[in-house]
Chains A and B, each alone.
Chain A
């Protein structure tokens, strides 16, 4: 909500374009994407390989620079034909959470420190960062593995820790790239349930890029992407 109590989208994309290469070799990966995602929503982003899903995710994650268009994050313009934020790394650290296909936890840190690392990078002291990490690990029901090494966790547990990490700095947006790909049906649905619960509880907007037919019916809204353009449709919103 802004000052006028008007709801503010967590993500607002307007005519977002991304072109790779130049001249005859140029490829338009995104051809004017419009997208609005509200706080507390879990939205699916689906499309065939090469359709531009990952490019869109990288643009949203401020990892690559779009070619044109406008991106707003919780009401702040972060891109308008050029980056409007000088420190993109700080933007990613403080306002965007990432969940990857593989958990990509830091193998030389224990579970707690994997989660606490983000608040520490943001300048929090070790004690409060670890306290926050334990809160999230408890919320994700992996607090009993808090002192374990990453290699001692199951795939599902690792993914939960990765989700906890993405929430550690109270990011208003989480970008999840195929978070259920390595998991079986039961665990995949568990992860989606967790994402939905967290979105509701923390009012976080979550975009889930997926091919996973098991979880697509769970989304209330789905963005289909094909040939660099998106179109929105209502999902089944099936209960988990």
Chain B
């Protein structure tokens, strides 16, 4: 319990709903609803019951609930088995548990988060023209 408090000093509880921009240093556990933008060098944990629609720049992101939006993690993104994620993600490392759902552009690797990404969705130099009509194409 004490470890959990050290790791996640900030908790947005299950009955809370947050709309706006949030910055923190250490860690945040989201159990309620969040809409907006998150910027942190620390850890973000989106719990199973949480719902999030946000653009996130973080050190580590752990997803167990439903997330919509773009995630950028300098270290790692973990999608647990209950995770439902829709959006573009950039991370150095990616862990996808069996049963997790992921729809969107993925950029994973050492250089994935180093490249400056323009505002908006991540565009990739995809070599193969995909069948997804809504996906942005390289210039």
Report whether chain A binds chain B: no
Residues in chain A within 8 A of chain B (CB atoms): none
Residues in chain B within 8 A of chain A (CB atoms): none
